[in-house]
Amino acid sequence: MIEGDIRDDDALDRATADIDIIFHHAALISVEASIRDPERTHDVNVTGTVKLLERARDESARFVFASSAAVYGHPDTVPISEDAPLEPTSPYGLSKLAAERYVRLYADLYDLSAVALRYFNVYGPGQLDGDYSAVISVFVDQAAAGDPITVEGDGSQTRDFVHVDDVVQANLLAATAEETGTFNVGTGESVSILELAEIVRDLSGSDPEITYTEARAGDIDRSRASVSNIESSLGFEPSLSLEDGLREII
């Protein structure tokens, strides 16, 4: 365990000495924070990625990059395939897209063995409150406390929630396969935020009121991954349903 900043050359040198595989998950992930401070988001998410790619090139290491469905922005259709238009709507999404492009450039220019995984909405035990998929942890905490479950907007927006166990599966497959490229990591299923609130309420054994607050700026309406590419290329198979994953957390 080496604790350090992704932008710190000394920490990176120590972390990447004599390694074979790099799983790159270091990032600022808050969309709202990226809107407030785009320069810092770019510095960590893009410059930090280039620094790490340089270490991968030095060590001839396999590079597995955690990207995001935020690179798609507002999709024209769902499910979203990897060749869908890339129109991020926040500095966070743009930073992930720029980092992805660097990963692809290094693969092409320096023959680096690299994979980019576009995570959809990841959730699981131990998740901290924050922007990414914390709607689940927020709903669970609210239900457990007997507080109203607060839905942003009208709750019709849909998301593809993928359990962290399946994200780990995708990373291990990406690390050990010969294939390179870019792959969605999701379930291929989606649920509305209102339906999610109702499932959490039912599984919690309580009966909290569901209330509505103002919609979050820049929120996308629909999201669902096409996972046929990662299934056929890497052998990925989502293993945990949303209801089972929520039951585990609750």
Active-site residue numbers?
Answer: 92
**In terms of C-beta density within 10 A (0-12 exposed, 13-18 middle, 19 or more buried), how is residue 87 classed?**
middle
Tokens 């959490």 correspond to what residue?
200
Cα–Cα distances in angstroms (integers) from residue 96 to residues 53, 69, 90, 214, 229, in the given order: 14, 9, 10, 27, 20
Structure tokens at 66: 């955690």
How many other CB atoms are found less than 10 A from the CB of residue 156?
12
The DSSP element (H or E) to which 84 belongs, if any, is none
Backbone phi, then psi, for 73, in 5-degree steps? Answer: 65, -140
From CA 227, how far away is CA 178, in angstroms rounded?
A: 18
Backbone phi, then psi, for 48, in 5-degree steps? Answer: -60, -40
Sequence-ordered list of residues with C-beta below 8 angstroms from that of 149, at least 6 positions apart, any chain: 139, 142, 143, 197, 200, 201, 208, 209, 210, 211
**In terms of C-beta density within 10 A (0-12 exposed, 13-18 middle, 19 or more buried), how is residue 144 classed?**
middle
How many other CB atoms are found less than 10 A from the CB of residue 3?
6
β pairing state of 121-123 and 149-152? unpaired
